[in-house]
């Protein structure tokens, strides 16, 4: 936390204060060169070192097997909604999509433009209140992959059991990246934008299995080809140097704090504190999500009326608890508890919630 602010924004989101301070100190005069890193050639020695180090830190932190490539791509997770089907789907080849909420819907709608994407499950009728179980999924024969969204940032639901359906998984992990370990053997490709848990906006990390690259489409503009990014070590064109530099700093911060296992343990602790406060509030605060799918990253909750919600958000902001407004498409409140949110911030929120309920409940 910086000053007295606890930032619960869903993305871009809070970053470790020590990372921000270090970046501030290094921004203008990078290592005595009289220039900023963001003013130098991305082919020069200073940036090359940052690029190489960030790549190897990403491998280390995510425990990435050798047969996966790590790519840094611009365009957000949103560009991956197109790149995945463009690269992976052959003519007429089907791919299943788990429709678990707003982000999955966007991934699906782009995939349909490029290939035979179909819905393997749709949670819309239930109001996107849970993730599916493996037995809920309906796969078409010959499916190239099953696309899942591990954490629906807007609806506040998270996939805790990966589908086990005999088809390689492709996952959008934007909002729970680096808060849980990845069982790599299930995946052909994993992607996530940096601005939730990894750094500032501007870069998306893609992990893709090397064997997949042998069969990806070549009939695409260079920037759209995973094999080109892999062959060029994500330096086919000018990379987002500032974002990658910052991601490197966040990765070091995670290593120093015990890695992904420590982030995962902290995510459980923090979310239990908040869900516990919601459960103990006699329905003044309510979670719309089924207990088994409640996200550890984005805790969505409602108050008895929309007026009270607006009052709650305004009063919380005055108290230094910011970014609690739910997404405009679903309303309510949302507290995002990414890795850089300290337990102190969550405890301050819970104390505020108790005071607000005592006043207005």
Ligand X SMILES: *Cc1c(COP(=O)(O)O)cnc(C)c1O
6, 70, 77, 167: which one contacts ligand X (CB under 6 A)? 77
Long-range contacts: 34-37, Cβ < 8 Å, 24+?
37/241, 37/242, 37/245
* Cβ closest to ligand X, residue 277 vs residue 296: 296
Q: Which is nearer to ligand X, 159 or 260 (CB)?
A: 159
- If the CB atoms of residues 147 and 196 are measured against ligand X, the closer one turns out to be 196
Locate tokens 């704090």: which residue?
257
Nearest to 352 by CA among 312, 325, 323: 312
Of these, 100, 175, 293, 339, which contacts ligand X (CB under 6 A)?
175
Alpha-carbon distance of 14 to 339, in angstroms, equals: 9
Q: Return the residues of window 226-265 that contact ligand X according to CB under 6 A.
A: none
From 50-58, 167-175, 287-295, 329-337, span contacting ligand X (CB under 6 A): 167-175
Measured from the CB atom, is 143 or 153 closer to ligand X? 153
Pairing of strands 94-99, 116-122: parallel
Contact 110, 85 (CB under 8 A): yes
178 scored as a contact of ligand X (CB under 6 A): no
Size of the site for ligand X (CB under 6 A): 12
Q: Are 161 and 134 in contact, with CB atoms under 8 Å apart? A: yes
Choose between 286 and 327: whose C-beta lies nearer to ligand X. 327
Residues 27-66, one symbol each (x = binds ligand X by CB under 6 A, - = not), give ----------------------------------------
Contact between 76 and ligand X by CB under 6 A: the answer reads yes
Residues 153 and 78: their CA atoms lie apart, in Å, by: 14
The DSSP output letter for 300 is E
Does residue 12 have a cis peptide bond before it, meaning omega lies within 30 degrees of 0? yes
189 near 206, Cβ under 8 Å?
yes
Q: Does residue 287 bind ligand X (CB under 6 A)? A: no
Smallest separation (angstroms) from ligand X to the CB of 194 = 8
Please count the other Cβ atoms lying within 10 Å of the Cβ belonging to residue 131: 28
Shorter beta-carbon distance to ligand X: residue 149 or 209: 149
- Does residue 203 bind ligand X (CB under 6 A)? no
CB of 155 to ligand X, least distance (A): 10
Contact mark string toward ligand X, 139..158, x via CB under 6 A = ----------x---x-----
**CA dihedral for 238, 243, 245, 248, sign (positive or negative):** negative
Burial class of residue 177, CB neighbours in 10 A (0-12, 13-18, 19+): buried
End-to-end CA distance of the chain: 29
Closest to ligand X by CB, 175 or 216: 175
Rounded to whole angstroms, the Cα distance separating 286 from 305 reads 11
User: Nearest distance from residue 11's CB to ligand X, in Å?
Assistant: 5
Number of residue whose CB is nearest ligand X: 76
| Side-chain half-sphere exposure of 52, counting CA atoms within 13 A | 7
Q: How far is the CB of 204 from ligand X (least distance, A)?
A: 6
253 in active site: no
Least distance to ligand X from the beta carbon of 348, Å? 24
CB-count burial class (<10 Å; 0-12, 13-18, 19+) for 75: middle
CB of 282 to ligand X, least distance (A): 32
Q: Which of 105, 116, 196, 357 is catalytic?
A: 196
Q: Does 193 bind ligand X (CB under 6 A)?
A: yes
Distance (Å, whole) CA 84 – CA 100:
18
Distances (CA, A) of 342 to 21, 294, 315, 339: 17, 19, 21, 8
Q: Which of 172, 227, 264, 309 binds ligand X (CB under 6 A)?
A: 172
Stretch that binds ligand X, among 18-26, 72-80, 241-249, 301-309 (CB under 6 A): 72-80
Residues that bind ligand X (CB under 6 A): 11, 76-78, 103, 149, 153, 172, 174-175, 193, 196
Q: Name the residues annotated as catalytic.
A: 103, 172, 196
């Amino acid at each position: 936390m910086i000053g007295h602010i606890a930032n619960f924004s869903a993305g871009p989101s809070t970053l470790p204060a020590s990372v921000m301070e270090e970046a501030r100190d290094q921004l203008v005069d990078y290592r005595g060169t009289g220039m900023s890193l963001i003013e130098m050639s991305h082919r020069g020695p200073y940036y090359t070192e940052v690029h190489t180090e960030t790549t190897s830190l990403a491998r280390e932190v995510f425990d990435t097997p050798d047969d996966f490539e790590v790519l840094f791509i611009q365009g957000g997770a949103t560009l991956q909604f197109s790149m995945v089907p463009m690269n992976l789907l052959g003519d007429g080849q089907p791919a299943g999509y788990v429709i678990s909420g707003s982000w999955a819907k966007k991934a699906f709608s782009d995939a349909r433009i490029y290939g035979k994407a179909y819905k393997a499950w749709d949670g819309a009728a239930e109001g996107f209140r849970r993730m599916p179980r493996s037995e809920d999924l309906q796969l078409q024969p010959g499916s190239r992959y099953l696309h899942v969204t591990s954490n629906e940032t807007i609806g506040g639901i998270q996939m805790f059991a990966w589908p086990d359906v005999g088809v390689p998984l492709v996952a959008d992990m934007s909002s729970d990246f680096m808060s849980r370990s990845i069982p790599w053997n299930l995946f052909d490709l994993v992607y996530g934008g940096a601005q939730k848990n990894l750094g500032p906006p501007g870069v998306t990390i893609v992990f893709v299995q090397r064997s997949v690259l042998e069969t990806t489409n070549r009939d695409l503009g260079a920037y759209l080809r995973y094999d080109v990014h892999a062959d060029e070590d994500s330096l086919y064109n000018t990379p987002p140097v500032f974002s990658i530099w910052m991601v490197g700093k966040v990765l070091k911060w995670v290593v120093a704090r015990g890695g992904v296992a420590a982030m995962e343990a902290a995510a459980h602790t923090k979310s239990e504190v908040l869900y516990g406060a919601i459960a103990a509030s006699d329905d003044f605060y309510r979670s719309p999500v089924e207990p088994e799918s409640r996200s550890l990253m984005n805790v969505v909750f409602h108050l008895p009326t929309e007026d009270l919600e607006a009052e709650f958000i305004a009063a919380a902001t005055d108290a230094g608890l910011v970014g609690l407004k739910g997404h405009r498409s679903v309303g309510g409140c949302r507290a995002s508890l990414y890795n850089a949110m300290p337990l102190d911030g969550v405890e301050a929120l819970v104390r505020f919630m108790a005071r607000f309920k005592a006043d207005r409940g």
